[in-house]
A and B are shown apart, each in its own frame.
Chain A
């Protein structure tokens, strides 16, 4: 099996080419660093060519953690071939990396990408000349339209590419010193496996190659530095760019072009006055479309299909809709077939009620994921980072922190991983710690369910207020963390501002499909398991006596407060009396605790405990959770607690990995639980005070 690495700049189209070469699905994005994990796939039409995708790099001297991954891959795993994808519209910066790859002991094939937009940019490139000057095989492709892909595959599979000639590109005196260093290398050492590359790094005094250091050459390098009036690092970068500039001058001609579309668009999107209002409007439109429009059209309807109803709310209008629902139908048929009530109850109120409470949110989530994917792939996400940097840096964050925050409205796990693009370690750690405060998609069910209990008409305003509250908490936490870290203003923000691109519909839809599917998968695995466990714990006593409903009829008697979970909750519930607005409720307490496993579980658990219909249990006087409707601020504080308390197990695992240890993770959990308890208690105490300090449920 041959290992082939795909290496190139960020935004060069690597992920799209990876998809085109392997036929596999992968996310396509425009902000730097969407390719975080190592992706592999067999090249189409071959049996022994394994393609490995690498994070985008501008050089083999890594600056971010992601770039270290690529360097380690190129140097240490000895791939059989490297496909260097280069963006033909920014040839100089792309070829700078090519000159470094050509120093490795690996063969390199250059894929000259963006062939489809060259003409529109007034650029023409002579690839035969380019190939001759680099000494490498160059193939013109368009990863987006598929042009040249077959030829690239043919060249790879037949091995009909030029062997790496190791061209000498530096000025004579510098090259002589580098050759000298190469001859002196101790070939036994791992670092010397790519001798040409190692020699240049030694010349530059790269700390990664200190093991190879040879003091006798130090004076010679110093003499060259004096002669050029630059340090060695600068001399190398300078001469690489000299070579690249010469190549470009001979192979490439550019026509003067009228103002580009990107510049025209940036006049609007980066306009001094319009940029931030536009950003707020775009995000507002995204949430209105997903949560407001699609959400209100579908969630009640889907819920009715699973759990039955007589009327549903569509677009904030009550519509008559009489269905039995899948759960009640299954439950009834079990009882009719002579099955026991507990089995019917397990299916109807454990399994179906649990899963459906999550599945009702699938349509609005899919729309949310679609909007995010478009913002990302179009290049607008880079602009958001660009114009928010000035605000974020005051709080010890980078403009790039906005990317994890926005991704975090979908799911904290990929969001925490996408924080790797933030270069500065402290900024990155803060971004990771703060991301879970963003209301993720799994918290949406909590928000929507409670917002409609507080006010059926102005529910969306209540949801919006929670987004602002989370923003306030994020900024306040940032200031606290900044003070704890003794952070100084020595961070930086360096990012390419890529040209705007029309997202590829095929890849965008695939990405949305994958994300939506993984949400559904969670609902049917983790959530199903938890729902059954919760059902067990609420329906049985410690001596396994069934205390669930005596029949499936509405109003059937049950003794859920004797169950195992009730006993556990009754102990902890004292702690939450202030947070729940003066209410002693084991049901609300154990449901909030389960948010630790998965946030979707909070609503599922409430509905399992309430015996199926959560809305009725909150709105009909005398029901288990009626206090949420009678004390609306208690409902609000319950939401607040669930939104800001520690994230789910998945996000905690991702955080531990990215923060690199328990100490920081425990710090984050403490911070989050602290915020959640304090802020929810503030609202809770007001609710309690308004109710005349009367304690309900004791």
Chain B
């Protein structure tokens, strides 16, 4: 599993790879496998917005300046900064 303290973004994750939600490129799909965040209020909010274990997410849109990104989950789109997605561990899904 990925190291939660390692915040550098990893590019080019392949299907089956593990990483953080913040590492995904536009169009990539992944399944959430764990979720930790030191900011309890933010974590609670993201749980409420549907980021729970096993949910499938897809990076749909990226803001013109590269951040934030819009991820599709549970039938709607959520705009969120990459930095706030670091604590979300994922496994990349195939097409």
Contacts and interface: CB of A to CB of B under 8 A. Distances in A.
Contacts of B60: 263
Given A89-B75, A92-B74, A58 B48 contact: yes
B46 A494 contact: yes
Contacts of B78: 494-497
Contacts of B41: 63
B11 interface: no
A61 to B, nearest CB: 6
B32 to A, nearest CB: 11
A289 interface: no
Nearest to B45: A63
Contact of A93 (B35, B42, B75): B75
Nearest to B40: A233
Interface residues of A, number: 41
Given A266-B61, A389-B68, A389-B81, A490 B47 contact: no
B43 to A, nearest CB: 8
Contacts of B52: 234, 237-238, 241
A93 B49 contact: yes
Interface string A82-94: 0000000111110
A96 B43 CA distance: 16
Contacts of B48: 58-59, 61, 63, 96, 237
A662 interface: no
Nearest to B42: A492
Interface stretch (A271-279, A359-367, A518-526): A271-279
A386 interface: yes
Interface string A491-510: 01111111000000000000
A96 B50 contact: yes
Interface in B14-54: 35, 39, 41-50, 52-53
A386 B63 contact: yes
A391 interface: yes
Interface string B50-92: 1011010000111111111010001111111101100000000
B53 A238 contact: yes
B75 A493 contact: no
Nearest to B49: A58
Contacts of B83: 489, 492
Nearest to B55: A241
A63 B66 CA distance: 26
Contact of A272 (B35, B46, B47, B64): B64
A276 B64 CA distance: 8
Contacts of A399: 68
B59 to A, nearest CB: 12
B29 to A, nearest CB: 15
A297 to B, nearest CB: 36
A161 interface: no
Contacts of B47: 233-234, 237
A403 to B, nearest CB: 14
A209 interface: no
A93 B80 contact: no
A493 B61 contact: no
Contact of B77 (A61, A275, A492, A497): A497
A270 B64 contact: yes
Contacts of A93: 49-50, 74-76
A496 B77 contact: yes
A455 interface: no
A93 B50 CA distance: 7
A495 B49 CA distance: 10
Contacts of A489: 83
A494 B80 contact: yes
A694 B67 CA distance: 54
A653 interface: no
Contacts of B68: 386, 389-390, 399, 493
A65 to B, nearest CB: 13
Interface in A349-379: none
B6 to A, nearest CB: 18
B50 A494 contact: no
Interface string A371-399: 00000000000100011011101000001
Max count, chain A CB within 10 A of own CB: residue among B55, B61, B77: B77
Contact of B63 (A90, A238, A389, A494): A389
A24 interface: no
A230 interface: yes
B53 A230 contact: yes
Specify which of A382, A389, A498 lies most central, judged by the most chain B CB atoms within 10 Å of its CB. A389
Contacts of B42: 492, 494
A390 B63 contact: yes
B14 to A, nearest CB: 24
A490 B39 contact: yes
Contacts of A393: 81
Nearest to A238: B52
Contacts of A263: 60
Given A233-B44, A266-B61, A495 B67 contact: no
A105 to B, nearest CB: 22
Contact of B64 (A237, A241, A387, A497): A387
Contacts of B43: 233
B83 to A, nearest CB: 8
A92 B79 contact: no
B84 to A, nearest CB: 5
B65 A494 contact: no
A494 B49 CA distance: 9
Contacts of A386: 63, 68, 70, 79
A270 B67 CA distance: 12
13 contacts: A59-B48, A61-B48, A92-B50, A96-B50, A237-B47, A390-B67, A391-B65, A492-B80, A492-B83, A493-B68, A494-B42, A494-B80, A495-B79
Given A275-B64, A495-B80, A496-B78, 15 more contacts: A61-B44, A89-B76, A90-B74, A92-B74, A96-B48, A238-B53, A241-B50, A271-B64, A272-B64, A390-B65, A391-B65, A393-B81, A492-B39, A493-B80, A494-B79
| Across the A-B interface, the 6 shortest Cβ-Cβ residue pairs | A59-B48, A390-B65, A237-B47, A90-B76, A92-B74, A497-B77
